[in-house]
């Protein structure tokens, strides 16, 4: 099987739609901005694919769901929230030049969404295809997870249009990830007159940072990284409170359980200090086994493709954990996710759109696998 090049994918049309989406800024947690963005996404879906896109309200903002009708066979999964605050567009407007598209959100992940829509449009018959574009992926997918899992199980296969790995590689495995918040309660006192009367939450936090960092096991892919800390109020007051935020990445379910148990067991070093821990490894690992079948199909379509396990996570972690075949990194080829130099390579856009179309066609031609 080789990739069927339809010749109907227009890069100019994709760039037009990408400009439309980028110029409606969509920072996570800004419900008003995300409502406008969802309407723009729905407009692109309906304009290119026909039918009706349904806006699914949530506390985080509207998710957008579109169906091509017929028996559900494949879910194309993306998100329209971005990490950039309102006003970024004015400083860094959408632009095309030197073979690159730039602007906030072009790589993560509006470019991939546009490519998928245009690829599916080239099929002529979109039956069996569903597209779900969520509003809170960048902040944990708390309001969209149940919907993602429901549609993934209904469809039986998931194509995630997050940006590609370096060099255009597909993402065949992802670490599970989560964050933990460690809050420390001490007791304030005058730092000069009676420092011993206090319980120094900052000193306790220093002990905890070292204990927490020691939980990492990089040899098995587990990283535990304290990322944010705060403590104290004035320079002459023993701090009564401190907090630590920790990023965690794991490759296996066993490591997920070990890390969560270790955080639950954290104990204070200073007498009378108190520790409260919240958080979890909220996105389970995406094992490479979950992508193996779909990646083999992708390789038949485009033999030069490579697959890569990566440290970042996506909504594909949720679907893979359910046993639903999931292939990630099918979106834009470029780089600079979450950074000012974010970009998409223009000359890869048509091929990636055709790859999504070819995968949808191949999945629909196969017998549906038994439910797991």
- Residue of 17, 81, 162, 260 with catalytic role: 81
Residues 6+ apart with CB under 8 A from 12: none
251 classed as catalytic: no
| Nearest one of 189, 274, 283, 297 to 239, comparing CA atoms | 189
Answer whether 256's CB lies under 8 Å from 223's CB: no
Query: For the residues of 11-78, what is the DSSP string, one character each?
Result: HHHHHHHHHHHHTS--BTT-HHHHHHHHHHHHHHHHHHH-S-PEEE--TT--EEEEE--SS--EEEEE
Alpha carbons 96 and 72: distance in angstroms, whole number? 36
- Residue of 108, 137, 138, 204 with catalytic role: 137
Alpha carbons 203 and 191: distance in angstroms, whole number? 13
Q: What token pair was written down for 68?
A: 């091509």
| Nearest one of 368, 362, 316 to 137, comparing CA atoms | 316
137 classed as catalytic: yes
Catalytic sites, residue numbers = 81, 137
């Amino acid at each position: 099987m080789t990739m069927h090049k339809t010749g109907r994918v227009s890069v100019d049309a994709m760039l037009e739609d990408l400009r439309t989406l980028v110029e409606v800024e969509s920072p996570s947690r800004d419900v008003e901005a995300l409502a406008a963005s969802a309407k723009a996404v729905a407009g692109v879906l309906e304009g290119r694919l026909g039918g009706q896109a349904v806006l699914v309200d949530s506390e985080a903002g509207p998710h957008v769901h579109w169906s091509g009708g017929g028996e559900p066979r494949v879910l194309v999964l993306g998100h329209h929230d971005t990490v950039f605050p309102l006003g970024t567009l004015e400083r860094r407007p959408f632009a095309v030049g030197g073979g690159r598209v730039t602007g906030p959100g072009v790589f993560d992940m509006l470019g991939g969404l546009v490519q998928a829509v245009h690829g599916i449009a080239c099929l002529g018959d979109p039956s069996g295809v569903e597209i779900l574009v969520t509003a809170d992926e960048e902040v944990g997918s708390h309001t969209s997870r149940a919907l993602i899992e429901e549609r993934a199980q209904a469809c039986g296969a998931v194509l995630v249009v997050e940006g590609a790995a370096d060099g255009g590689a597909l993402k065949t495995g992802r670490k599970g990830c989560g964050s933990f918040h460690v809050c420390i309660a001490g007791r304030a006192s005058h730092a000069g007159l009676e420092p011993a009367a206090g319980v120094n939450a900052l000193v306790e936090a220093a002990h905890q940072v070292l204990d927490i960092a020691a939980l990492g096991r990089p040899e098995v892919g587990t990283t535990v990284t304290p990322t944010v800390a705060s403590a104290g109020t004035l320079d002459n007051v023993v701090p009564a409170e401190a907090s630590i935020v920790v990023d965690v990445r794991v490759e296996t379910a066993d490591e997920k359980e070990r890390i969560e148990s270790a955080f639950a067991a954290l104990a204070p070093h200073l007498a009378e200090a108190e520790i409260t821990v919240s958080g979890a490894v909220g996105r389970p690992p995406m094992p490479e086994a979950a992508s193996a079948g779909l990646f083999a199909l992708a390789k038949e379509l485009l033999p030069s493709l490579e697959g890569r396990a990566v440290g970042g996570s996506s909504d594909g972690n949720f679907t893979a954990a359910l046993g639903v075949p999931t292939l990630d990194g099918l979106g834009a080829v470029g780089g600079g996710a979450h950074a000012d130099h974010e970009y998409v390579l223009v000359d890869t856009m048509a091929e990636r759109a055709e790859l999504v179309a070819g995968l949808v066609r191949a999945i629909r031609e196969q017998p549906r696998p038994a439910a797991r």
